[in-house]
Homo-oligomer: A and B are copies of this chain.
């Protein structure tokens, strides 16, 4: 770094002491826990939740499942700037990865859901996502499928088994199994100093020294620690840079829209960096196409540091060390209403070229 950048970096560390918990800085990086089951999670709930997670019939058109935007075959997202829901509609924000989503204090970019359960309720009834008119419609449709009624009863007891609360409990129980331990960083932290390459180790050192770790700390590199409250960070902190207009960083006011507090303007939840190599494009609006570009951008907008090409390369190498091992998932068999579809609004169609 040159002198002016050292000054800028020091300025940030001082600012960081005010903005961020000292605890987060002290704890730095930690291995990813290998399990995260909650009290009450059972194999029956996990299996039911897996089916619901993969079931496109929970959307108005029968075409969009949780997995459509949080694709477990990839980075738990959808490769798109912003997701495409029913009828080709798109929303304003980039789909966050569902992998390791249990390791954060709140859900959505603006943290408006405190739990995985609460989060799972949102997209089902968002008109640009799964487009159901209400949770009653979701439950009504599930109840049309006898196999689901049986599985809800098995997982939650007979009687009023098929409820939205039970549905999201099952989905969340499944999501708590979506953990990717065993990354090069995890092996390194466990004592295998050869687990990371020299470039990755240099990148990790830079990640700490330059200040990325102030926000991206803890096991998921998102500031989260067990039992900690959700923290939100202003983004961009320095908004007089060309990045602001280039990547449209001022349109989305972030947390303030959810909290109603102007003090939360342009604040966002810190996203996990686990498997970040697999989840391009980047940022809340998905406008940044590549990982090296977002490393440069974050250093400048959040820490006021202009990285060299070599530093960017080392940071990207370190990001590669955050790619974990993905559990093997068997494709579920979804229960079907024999001889009848439950997608009742799919009759209208336009004639295309097929």
Contacts and interface: CB of A to CB of B under 8 A. Distances in A.
A354 B129 contact: yes
B352 A89 contact: yes
Count copies of this chain in the complex.
2
A61 interface: yes
Interface string A84-107: 101111111100000000000000
Interface stretch (A164-172, A184-192, A277-285): A277-285
Interface string A29-67: 000000000000000000000000011110001110000
A315 to B, nearest CB: 11
A82 B349 contact: yes
A280 B81 contact: no
A341 interface: yes
A326 interface: yes
A260 B260 CA distance: 63
A343 B74 CA distance: 14
B353 A126 contact: yes
A128 interface: yes
B339 A292 contact: yes
Interface string A67-84: 010011111001111101
B290 A334 contact: no
Interface residues of A, number: 72
A63 to B, nearest CB: 5
A215 to B, nearest CB: 20
Most central of A72, A289, A339 by chain B CB within 10 Å: A339
A354 B88 contact: no
Contacts of A353: 91, 126-128
B277 A339 contact: yes
A108 to B, nearest CB: 8
Contacts of A81: 346-347, 349
Contacts of A281: 340-341, 346
16 contacts: A80-B341, A80-B343, A81-B349, A91-B349, A91-B354, A126-B354, A276-B339, A277-B336, A278-B336, A278-B338, A280-B339, A286-B347, A289-B341, A291-B340, A329-B331, A330-B330
